[in-house]
Structures are given as structure tokens and as C-alpha cells.
Structure 1
Amino acid sequence: MSHNVPKLNDPSLLKLNVAYVNGEWVQAKSGKTFEVHDPSSGKLIGTAPEFDSADTQLAIDAAAAAFPSFRNKTGRERSKLLRKWYDLMVENSEDIAKLITWENGKPLADAKGEAAYAASFFEWFSEEAPRIYGDTIPASVAGNRVVTIKEPVGVCGLITPWNFPAAMVTRKIGPALAAGCTVVAKSPGETPFTSLALAELAHRAGIPKGVVNVVSALKNTPEVGEILTSSPFVKKVSFTGSTGVGKLLMKQSSSTLKKLSFELGGNAPFIVFDDADLDVAVAGAIASKFRSSGQTCVCANRIFIQSGIYDEFAQKFAAKVKDFKVGGGYSEGVTHGPLIHDRAITKVDAHVRDAEKKGGKVIQGGQKMPELGSNFFQPTVITGMTTEMALASEETFGPVAGLFKFETEEEVTKVANSAEVGLAGYFFSKDLQRVFRVAEALEVGMVGVNTGLISDAAAPFGGVKESGFGREGSKYGIAEYQVTKMITYGGMGQPLQK
């Protein structure tokens, strides 16, 4: 019973063999498709079109053709379209959650949370759309008037990952549409059906044709990425994914000097000081480390516990992890699902074996779970971690919590900041002065203080260093899709002629 196939309330939300271009459902011109498998059971869910550069070009052309009229809609008109799309997402949230669980594997309760989180970006940016303000600037030349207005950057290429099949799409499309841009969104090869369901809801919401295009590819992903980054019609690319791919896309974008925003890999430090509330810290670590079985870019990756509470923390933390129930995402009571594919399992297993070999001690989990399926791994806790272990410098992206011991605030801050990336960081302390010191000292784009969950449409999401640049969500998110135009009006200060 562990691997059920979901029944959708509205089966027409599952779009097989088609992608969404210029307001129509189309197949790849080549007729080629790729298979999408349920990571829990390994069973085929269905096939999606394998778009190539020519197919993608048609989507770019559609977005370019739709841009002039869409940019001229008022902010209030665009707001109403986003609001309608939001309402439809809320009405269909159960089906969206089922699709997320089916193709991504996360437990249904998590998927429901993601469906609500994803919808919240349309709600948020529907409210930002009518509030796009410029400035009037006093000129230093007599008689001149300087005004700025915010304009949409143009056609946007959006490339999203599989770990949040709904939220990563809405977090990019929401601000793009609010600003007056049109988009070509590349759905993840592992999880295309959630974003295609969102495209169906966009269609029902009355989003004009060509404004939102959703294309799919697996094998041809590099080819699709290359045309989005090199096309002179695409003025901006937003990408969420690995740092390595981000560097490649940035290089490809240089030929046309695109506006870019990148949300790339992380290696989040999670620090618990002696003076923290231990139970709050344990709960925070559970939430931050094991959300989506550790497959998020803001998951705690290196967990640092001050020596005075190290043993007690490890014991309480491992006891909580022991209570997890791993299984297929639709099964009753399951808290954690499978990893996305066999490559993820291989990496997680390698990190655990490497830690063991170098003196780490597995106090909970540590093994594959073939009895459930090939993509399951026990939620794992390892003590005695050192900086020589692979987990210290690489993002695990799986359910493995390695606990490092530290002595001083200065020492832990230095080690936390030694990573090349800087997306999220977390720490727990009751000392107010320390809270300010450490929050400001961590070289990351986002800090959680006494909390393990920082995702919120109101909060600006993004990193520093090799975690990329640009911010998503919040009042800052819309600026990534705008350019500032300055207009100087001359001869405005002439006195009235008698």
C-alpha cells in the first residue's frame, strides 16, 4: 500500500505530452518525449515533450509578441489577473499538492504546504503590481525637472528546479507579470507536471496568450538553457539551481548582457550556542535539516553545537529523528519521502561512508532502505564531525545531519564563513548582544535567529558569494524585473510672461 497513484479531483490538470506556448497546448515539433517517474515507486507517471531550441524559440517569439500590449496594461489590470490565478491555485491546491507528491516524492502534508506557499507569491505580487513607483528628483540645473519611471525589463527566461515544483515557478512568474514582463519558463525535467498544471490555471485565469509560456525538456535542458541565455529577445534570465550551472548560464548570457538573478547552491551553517533554549534549537534543526528530506538549498548542512551542550543536543536530536516515518508520500503518517533519484542516493551514501571512514559516528540511521524502494535513505545523525569530511564542504542535499562540536563564537563564525557559498544561516542563542553580533557576522543572504524556517513571500530570498545575486519575493523581488528610466524635462522653470 505504500505507493498509491493519486486520483485528481480535476484530471484535466495532468497535462501529458504537451507544453504551453502562446496560449495553446503543443507537442514538441520532433514528436519526442521524455519519461517522468514517481521517485517512490519508480513507476511511470507519464511523458512530457522534449523541447529543443527551435521549439523554445517559438515560445520566445510568443512572449516577445505579447510583451508590447501586456506592458501597457495598468498595474491594477495585471494585479487582477494575478489575483485570479491565485484564487484558482487555492481552489485547486489539493490537486497541486497531489501532483507535487507524485513527481517529487515529498509527503502530502509537505506538498500541501508548498502549494499554499506557491500561491502566496501570486497573492503578494498581485498586491505589488499597482504600487510600482518612480521618483521626482530636484535637478541641479535651473529649469530642469528630473523624473524616474520603472519599466518592465522585457521577455524573461525562467529556469526552475525540481525540489519545489510549484513555488520556484510562482516566485519568478509572480514578480515578472506584476512588473509587466512576459515569460518563458523552463519546467524541471524531473517534475514538469506541476508547472504545466499551473499553466492550465493561468489559461483559465485569462492570462493573455504569449504572456506565460511553459516549456519542458530533460535531455535537451542545456540546449533550451543556451537559447534562453543567448537570444537577443530575452532581456533577463532568472535561474534557481546549482552554482556550476549558474556560472555556465552567466557566461552564456554575456553575449547579450542580460539582466540576471541567480539563486544557487548553499551550505547552510546551523549554530547552537550554550545559552540557547535546547528544545527550541532541536525543533529548529529538525525543521531546517529534514524538510523535504534535506533536499532544499536552505537546509541546514553543517550543524555546529557548542561543546557544553553537544552530547545532550545530539541525544535529543537523534531521538526525534528516530520517530520519523519514511515511506511513500501518500501513505498515512509518513513524515519523510524518497530522494529524487538514484544519483541523490549515491551522493548521500557517499557522504555517510566518508564521515564514518574519517571517525564520525552514526548514532541514527545511515543506511539505504531497499525494502521501500531504490530512492529511500534512512534519516541519519552523525556525531564527531570534522572539517576534513566531504559533508563539511559539499552540499549533501539529503537526510544526513552531521554534528560538529565548537568551543567559541569566534571559532564557529570563522568556520561557518569558510564556505564559498552564502545562502542561508541559522543560529540559536538567548544573548541579545550575541544575536546582533552573529547575525551581522555571518556571510549569508538570509539568517534565521531562533528559527529553522525562514520561507515567506514577504521575506527577500537570495544569497551572497557563490550562492548568487538578486532577491526573490518581498518588496525587493519586483525590482529584478524592472529597469529605471530617467526623464529630464528642460525649460520647465521659465517665469510667466507678463
Structure 2
Amino acid sequence: MAHDVVADPETDPTATYAVDPALVRRLARRVVSAPRAEHHVSHTPLTGAPLASLPVSTREDVAVAVDSARAAQRAWARTPMELRERIFLRYHDLVLERQVELLDIVQLESGKTRRQAFEEVADVAIVARHYARAAAAYLRPRRRAGLFPVLTQSTVHHHPRGVVGIVSPWNYPLSLAITDAIPALMAGNAVVLRPDLQASLTALQAVQLLTEAGLPESVLQVVLGDGPTVGQAVVDLSDYVCYTGSTDTGRRVAGSVAGRLVGYSLELGGKNSMYVADDADLGKAVEGAVRACFSSAGQLCISIERLLVHGAVADEFTRRFVAAVGQMSLGRELAYGTDMGSLVSAQQLERVSAHVEDARAKGARVLTGGRARPDVGPYFYEPTVLDGVTAAMALRDEETFGPVVAIYRVHSDEEAIRFANDTDYGLNAAVYTRDVGRGRRIATAIHAGTVNVNEGYAAAWGSVASPMGGMKQSGVGRRHGSEGILKYTESQNVTAQYLLPIAPVAGMGEETYARVMTAALRVLKAVGRA
């Protein structure tokens, strides 16, 4: 089935695919690099044309950035929480006010549509507002039960770790560069950020807006370069590491920090399932599945790649879903109105094509899509739906990270749960059913860090007061909520003992002390003391 093309490159003279050179020069000054540093030229996936030339940092530059951040962190940690709150509330407003320039850069670097780029703008604003309003409560000292009531008074404090190193990927160049930095900064840390080279302009513009909101420049340092050199230096030199990317690289990050006994969090890959139950509203399920499978051309760690459809509704759902996917428009316009954009690179296009061709060669049926679209742009690939995928095909178990989904028929909730859990990953899942209670019961049986009921991914992702992260091979730790800020702190137990020591007193013998303590412990248990 043919897909409509928006902003056809042959007929759309109004579309522009460049960034103001003056803006690039201003942003380049934010990169920690040597005066005569090598430069990297990025290209927009929308056309393949050069986008920006930016300086590349060295390992020595990363050391300079970390030292500078560490010096600035001491003053920043003493900054009153009220001032930090005001900075990030101003940032919330700036991101919304300046969204047009942000949307342009996000699209140019990632190839996604404007609507899907707006998800990132909204996400950053939501996270900034949440932590500006909630950080003080998450971080405040808390009284805990002491050994003995009244006599032992215990308080838990949360101290910043120091310099947080963030290594962010290309697929969500705004969200993933800055939303992990926000809670780290609100907790009193400094940050050294290494965005992917393909996402550098977006990250630098986001950091520039933070400076305009009032954040001291030295508190958030940006370094640019490849993963093995610059990314590794950030991992090696930071006091805490936050990494988002592939599972294979995540394992190497964990191994690197283990020897230094440094804390880390990892959000890694996924092979996420959506279950359409026999009582689902099929109209809503089809609409939700289109969004969940093809947002950002499937280049989303929480994207749905497996559709598990109850046999009672499988034929009707498949008919409606394939028709909806076949009507999706492809395009590269820097404006609203396109359903799906481009893959980010030749490497991603090759991976997607290889998965589809492997499945096709081994007997799977392509119900719609299944081909590249170089007539639209160099890395465009049609949204694709397959049936008959088996365990012999790479597509069943390997993360595709592209606009490809396979439909599988199941015949009970239990079978759907087993299939959803039959993967090394555990990042996201979804359940569609008219019975929300049933959906919640199914959700809790799925081994995934987030599960949405009657939504594909955005409900859990956008509920930033609750944690988000992966089980199994999908990661370690969480972002969002209290866990998303407390991970950037060292907890400290300060306990004061009053009147009596935890020891024999006034000539009391050790045996007598043991009898008194035994009686006290029995009393504490009898009165329900935790």
C-alpha cells in the first residue's frame, strides 16, 4: 500500500533543512574543547545534507570539564533550594516559549516529525516543573524510628554525589540530554553531559536555555565526541554515571564503574509488547498501536514491537490496523501534519531492512510496508506490519528499533503474559481492555518497568512522579519520581542517643544487661514496633 508523502523534496521549495550558522557558532562555544580542536560535521537524516560543524573534545578536555564542574558544585550545593526552584520554573517557561527553534533542531537532528518532536518539548517542561516543585520534599531530612523510642532519634539526610556524568543517545536528543540532568542539578550536583554527536545541537541549545534561566554555566559542562573515547572518559571520571543506550554498551559501562565502586543507572533496550484483549475497544486499540509502534519511526526504547492480539478479535483488529498503517503519511517537513519521519542513519536503515528481509525469507508475511523510500529521503522506511514471525527470525527477539511490528495471536490473558515475558528485556508494555481492573491485573504480571493500560507508552512516561526504568536486560535504576532524584544522592544516617548509652550502665553486669535488653526487645515486638 502506498504511503502519502508530505514535503516532497521535488515540489516543496519552502522547506529548509539548515541551522543558522550564527547559532551554531554560539552553541559551539559551550563545548569544552581545545582552541584548535578537530571538528565533526553532522548531517540531517531528512536529506543527508551537512547540518553543523562542532568541535570535538578529547579525554583531556573531559578531565578539564569534570574538574571545573567539581569546583562549581561546591557553591551550587550551598545554593538555597528556593533559588534552584525558580531557575527550573523559568526553564519550564523558556522551553515552551522557545519551542519553535527547539522543534526545528530536534527534527533536523533526529528526522522525526514535528508532533513527535513536541513530545520532547512537553517532556522537558513536565520534568522541570515536577522537580522544581517536588525536589525539596524528596530531599528533606526525614526522621526514622530509632533503636529505642524517644531515647534514640534517627534522621536520614541526602547529600549530592558531586559530579554526575550523563551519556545520552541520539533518538530523543532533547529529552534524554536534559531530563536526567534536571534532577541531578536540583539535588545539588554538577553535571558533565556527553550527548551523542548526532544530537549535539539540540543538547547545546537546551543547555543554553538553562543558562538563560539562571543556571551558573560552570555547573553544567558539555563535551562532545565518540563513545569509546569521550563517553568512556565521562564514565571513568564522574562520581555517578547515568547512561541511556544499548544493552551491550550498558554492560560495558557497568563493568567500567564497578572497579571504582561508583553508582550508576542504565536505561537500555527493549522488546516491548502490547496485548489487545478480547474485550478491547478496537478503534482505540488501533489508534494507540499506531502511535506506540511508529512514533519517532520506532526509534524509541519504549516503542511497541510485538502486538499480541486475542484470537477472538485478531482478524478484525489486524484488518483495521493494517489499513490505518497503510494510510500513514511520510515526510520531512518542519511543520505539523506528517505521521512518520525518517530513520536516523544508514546503520539504522540497514538494521531495519535486515530484520524485515530475514523474516520475509523465512516465511513471514509483510501485510503493509516493508520497503525503503529513498524518494522521500535517504533513510526513510515505510511503517511495516508482519504476520507469521517465528523464533527462527531475528525480528521475534532482537530489538529492531525501527518502524516494524509483528502481530501474534494469543488465546488467553495467561498466554499473552507468557509471551510478553518471553524476552530478555523488560522495559515497557501495554494492555488494551475495557475492564481497567483486568488490565491492571495483567499489567502487574508482566515483567516490565512500566506498563500502560489503554495507552501505548505516553501515560507511564508522562507520569513523572512515578518511576520509569527497565527490568532484566533493560537496565538498572530508575528515572522520574523520588527514585529519579535520590539516586543522585548519598543517604546519610545521623542518629543521636539521649540519656542512656547502648551499653550496661551504673555498674550493671553484662548478663543483667542482656536480660534487660531481651525484655525490652520482647516489649517492642509486642507493641508492634517495626
Deviation at 1:284, TM superposition (A): 1.2
Q: Is the 8 A contact 1:17 1:47 kept in 2?
A: no
Structure 1 letter corresponding to 2:89: R
Q: How does 1:160-171 map to 2 (within 5 A)?
A: 160-171=168-179
| DSSP 3-state at the match of 1:165 | coil
Preserved contact between residue 355 and residue 400 of structure 2 (Cα < 8 Å):
yes
Contact 2:329 2:338 survives alignment (8 Å): yes
Q: Secondary structure, in 3 states, of the residue corresponding to 2:105?
A: helix
The reply to whether residue 283 of structure 1 matches residue 272 of structure 2 is: no
Decide whether the 8 Å contact of 2:32 with 2:62 is kept in 1: no
Equivalent in 199, 202, 206 of residue 191 of structure 1: 199
- C-alpha separation in 2, matches of 1:450 and 1:492: 58
Q: How far apart in 2 are the matches of 1:379 and 1:89?
A: 31
Contact 1:423 1:462 in 2 (8 A): yes
Matched, 1:459 2:466: yes
Task: Kindly state the Cα deviation for residue 394 of structure 1 after the two structures are TM-superposed.
Answer: 0.8
Native 8 Å contact 2:103 2:118 kept in 1: yes
CA 1:146/1:26 → structure 2, altered by over 3 Å: closer, same or farther?
closer
Show CA shifts across 1:353-403 (max 9, x none).
112122211121111112112201111111222233211101111111211
Structure-1 residue corresponding to 2:217 = 209
> In structure 2, what is the equivalent of residue 118 of structure 1?
124
Amino acid aligned to 1:110: Q
Corresponding position of 1:78:
84
1:88-117 CA-partner distances (Å, limit 9, x unpaired): 222211100110011111112221232122
Q: Deviations over 1:219-241 (max 9, x none)?
A: x321122222222xx21100111
Q: Which structure 1 segments of 5+ residues have no match?
A: none
Among 38, 59, 62, the alignment partner of 1:56 is 62
Matched, 1:250 2:248: no
Q: After TM superposition, give the deviation of residue 30 of structure 1 in Å.
A: 5.1
Task: Measure, in 1, the Cα distance between the counterparts of 2:40 and 2:120.
Answer: 25
Instruction: Give distance in 2, aligned partners of 1:93 and 1:195.
Output: 14
Q: Contact (CA 8 Å) 2:32, 2:57: kept in 1 or not?
A: no
Q: CA deviation at 1:19?
A: 5.2
SS of residue paired to 1:118: helix
For the 8 Å contact 2:332–2:341, the answer to whether it is kept is yes
How do 1:328-343 residues align onto structure 2 when only pairs under 5 Å count?
Answer: 328-330=332-334, 333-343=337-347
Task: Give distance in 1, aligned partners of 2:131 and 2:289.
Answer: 31
Q: Is 2:403 aligned against 1:399?
A: yes
Q: What is aligned with 1:274? A: 278
Contact 1:305 1:405 in 2 (8 A): yes
**What is the CA-CA distance between 1:426 and the residue it aligns to?**
0.7
Quick check: 82-91 or 137-146, which moved more? 137-146
Cα displacement (A) at 1:482: 1.4
CA distance in 1, matches of 2:470, 2:25: 34
Q: What's the CA shift for 1:202?
A: 1.9
Query: How much does 1:331 deviate?
Result: 5.8
Amino acid at match of 2:176: M
User: Greater share of helix residues, 1 or 2?
Assistant: 2
Q: What do residues 316-353 of structure 1 show as CA deviations (whole Å, max 9, x unaligned)?
A: 00111111111214266322111000111111111111
The CA RMSD over aligned residues, in Å, is 2.0
Task: Classify the secondary structure of the residue corresponding to 2:218.
Answer: coil
Against the structure 1 CA distance between its residues 406 and 15, is the aligned structure 2 distance closer, same or farther, given a 3 Å change threshold? farther
311, 315, 322: which is aligned to 1:318?
Answer: 322
C-alpha separation in 1, matches of 2:78 and 2:428: 37
**In structure 1, which of residues 452, 473, 484 is the aligned counterpart of residue 480 of structure 2?**
473
Closer, same or farther in 2 for the Cα pair 1:315/1:194, shift >3 Å? same
Alpha-carbon distance, 1:492 to partner: 5.7
- Counterpart-to-counterpart distance in 1, 2:335 and 2:143: 58
Shift of 1:17: 7.5
Q: Does 1:385 align with 2:393?
A: no
Label 1:418 to 1:332 Cα distance change in 2 as closer, same or farther (>3 A). closer
SS, match of residue 239 in structure 2: strand
For residues 126-157 of structure 1, give each alpha carbon's deviation from its aligned partner in whole angstroms, at most 9, with x where no partner exists.
Answer: 11233222222342257442211111121100
Instruction: Give, in angstroms, the shift of residue 491 of structure 1.
Output: 3.9
CA contact (8 A) 2:273 2:420 kept: yes
Q: Give, in whole Å, the separation in 1 of the partners of 2:111 and 2:100.
A: 15
Indicate how the Cα distance of structure 1 residues 396 and 152 shifts in structure 2: closer, same or farther if over 3 A, else same: same
TM-score, normalisation: structure 2:
0.87
Matched to 1:348, the amino acid is V
Query: Who is 1:441 aligned against?
Result: 445
Cα pair 1:67 1:155 within 8 Å, conserved: yes
User: Following superposition of structure 1 onto structure 2, how do residues 341-420 of structure 1 map, counting pairs within 5 Å?
Assistant: 341-420=345-424
Superposed counterparts of 1:9-28, under 5 Å: 13-15=23-25, 18=28, 20=30, 26-28=32-34
The whole-number CA distance in structure 2 between the counterparts of 1:492 and 1:299 is 59
Q: Is the 8 A contact 2:114 2:336 kept in 1?
A: no
Q: 1:437: Cα distance to partner?
A: 2.8
CA deviations over 1:168-193 (Å, ceiling 9, x no partner): 12221110111111100111111110
Partners in 1 of 2:336 and 2:151 — Cα distance? 72
Classify 1:292/1:470 alpha carbon distance in 2 versus 1 (closer, same or farther; 3 Å).
same
Counterpart-to-counterpart distance in 1, 2:288 and 2:489: 36
Check whether the contact 1:421–1:466 (CA below 8 A) recurs between aligned residues.
yes
Q: Any idea what the Cα deviations from partners look like across 1:157-176, whole Å, max 9, x if unmatched? A: 00111111111122211101
Whether contact under 8 Å (1:339, 1:345) holds in the other structure is yes
Distance, in Å, in 2 between the alignment partners of 1:326 and 1:82 is 36
- Is contact 1:2–1:331 with CA below 8 Å preserved after alignment? no
The answer to whether structure 1 residue 5 and structure 2 residue 16 are counterparts is: yes
Conserved 8 A contact 1:236-1:481: yes
17 and 67 in structure 1: CA distance in 2 versus 1, 3 angstrom threshold: closer
Q: Do structure 1's residue 299 and structure 2's residue 306 form an aligned pair? A: no
Alpha-carbon distance in 2 for matches of 1:121, 1:285: 25
Per the normalisation by structure 1, the TM-score is: 0.93
**Structure 2: gaps spanning 5 or more residues:** 1-6, 10-14, 502-530
Identity percentage of aligned residues: 31
The secondary structure found in structure 1 opposite 2:388 is strand
Per-residue CA deviation, residues 273-307 of structure 1 (Å, 9 max, x unaligned), is 11211111111111110111111000001111112
User: In terms of Rg, which structure is larger?
Assistant: 2
Does the CA-based 8 Å contact 1:35-1:48 persist in structure 2? yes
